[in-house]
Chain A
Amino acid sequence: MGRAIDDAEAVARARDGDLDAYAVLVARYTLRAHRAAFLLGAGEEAGDVVQEAFVKAFRHLSQFRAGAPFGPWLLRIVANETRNLTRSRRRREALALRLGTAELEGTAAGSPADEVLAAERRAQLVAAVSALPDRERQVVVCRYFLDLSEAETAQVLAWPLGSVKSRKARALNRLRGLLAPVEQNRVTNG
């Protein structure tokens, strides 16, 4: 590959059947797509989900609106594939949202109490997100863990914008409730 091509050009060429151009997009978006699939619940099967999503995306490139950003369009297919997977699973596997353990241990080893507390709170928060109802968890994952805007979240999850807003508000409320004891602890300790 001599010169770098931008997404729009890669999409245009891929649409004409250019697999080299499509490989550029695959390489460029694998990490993001993989992170999205994993955090939306694909877990260990994130790799399979992403591969399937890339194959489907290629076949549906004719439906891609020229000039639109490729990322959210792809992530919508990733989210849909993840949904198909989790739906077909017999048992709902515990969502494996975990914080980097090395980091947590490092913090606990020899750092100020504040940081230990912050790490604990964060772990608790992640556990609380894992325990959210499906849709509320999805909106939290998209907005805060994947850094998508509300509009992008609506596109990726295939929901109306209003649902994104209301489910996000509900999720935050619930998380606030779950975090309240910690907040109180901190207040009494401080």
Chain B
Amino acid sequence: MADRAGWQDAVESELRAAGRELTVPPASDLTAAVRQRLEGSTVQRRQVPALGTGALRRQLGWRAALIVVAALLTVLIATPQGRAAVIGVLRFAGVELRQEPGPARSPGSNASLPGERRMPLERARLQVSFPILIPAALGQPDGVVVSDRGRVVSLIYRRAPYGLVRLDEFAGRFNTVYFQKFLSLRMMTEVEVNGTKGAWIKGPHELVYVTRDGTLATASARLTVGNTLIWGTSQVALRLEGKLSKPAALAIASSAH
């Protein structure tokens, strides 16, 4: 028995010694790659379960999801692997488009972004870290609302013949998601605004604000009004919402400076 333990110890220590001498190719730093992949999906991880009302479920009967990150869009679609990877969300300028039913909306129409504060435009400019763009086609806004400690600014317009028009602006950082939209991707067409890609969404859809830590602000969940245009500049991402035709929306967008 002692002999048996003896050979076992010998083999074990030989194995440990061999282990120390094994060649393992160098590992590369993965922090950036892992982070990039997670930034595309932190909101997904915290996805609120789809609402259960039968009618809406039928109406929003698309289960397949579609994921694309805006800047990668062309590359992704250009490669077969890319095409295979397009399965969950489309992302444009801080807005994520998801083809699936959205979370339950708060009853009534009092949905709001976190910490909304109404203030004059000049004060709002001091509260946010990005330049606030004003579309010349709409002129000075009738109301300015800063939300979530300066993370989003909303310009409110009442303009005939459109009625209520809302322009949300937020820092145009590539990997941050500010809003999620739940819709059928058939509602979406790609457009060009001042030489960059944008998304035109025809018809109402569910809109939810995504907070800094990637959670959905369910109190903000609401159905949008009219049509929506999403686009961005190098510094600012913009979401224009209202009963606007596509040419009118594009004209407003290209006049924003």
Contacts and interface: CB of A to CB of B under 8 A. Distances in A.
A23 B11 CA distance: 39
Nearest to B32: A23
A58 B40 CA distance: 13
Interface string B20-50: 0111110111110111011101100110000
Interface stretch (A43-51, A63-71, A80-88, A149-157): A43-51
B83 to A, nearest CB: 20
B27 A26 contact: no
A11 B29 CA distance: 19
Interface string A140-183: 10011111000000000000000000000000100110010000
Interface residues of B, number: 33
Nearest to B12: A144
Interface string A112-143: 00000000011001100100000000001001
Nearest to B15: A144
Contacts of B35: 19, 22-23, 26
Contacts of B39: 19
A89 to B, nearest CB: 18
Contacts of A146: 19
Given A26-B31, A51-B30, A144-B12, A17 B18 contact: no
Contact of A17 (B24, B27, B28, B214): B214
A105 interface: no
A176 B24 contact: no
Contacts of B7: 176
Contacts of B42: 17, 19
Q: Which residue among A17, A30, A51 has the maximum number of chain B CB atoms within 10 Å of its CB?
A: A17
Interface string B206-224: 0000000111000000000
B140 to A, nearest CB: 38
Contacts of B23: 98-101
Contacts of A99: 18, 21-23
A175 B33 contact: no
Contacts of B45: 17, 58-59
Interface residues of A, number: 45
Interface in B60-118: none
Q: Which residue among B19, B27, B213, B215 has the maximum number of chain A CB atoms within 10 Å of its CB?
A: B19
Q: Which residue among B11, B30, B33 has the maximum number of chain A CB atoms within 10 Å of its CB?
A: B30
Contacts of B22: 39, 97-100, 126, 145
Contacts of B24: 34-35, 38-39
A144 to B, nearest CB: 4
Nearest to A101: B23
A109 interface: no
A145 B175 CA distance: 39
A31 interface: yes
Contacts of A44: 25
A22 B41 CA distance: 14
B58 interface: no
Contacts of A179: 11, 14
A100 B21 contact: yes
A145 B20 CA distance: 7
Given A17-B215, A176-B11, A34 B27 contact: yes
B17 interface: yes
B8 interface: yes
A140 B15 contact: yes
22 contacts: A16-B213, A17-B215, A27-B29, A30-B30, A34-B27, A46-B25, A50-B30, A51-B33, A55-B38, A98-B22, A103-B21, A122-B18, A126-B18, A129-B15, A140-B15, A144-B16, A146-B19, A172-B12, A175-B15, A176-B7, A176-B8, A179-B14
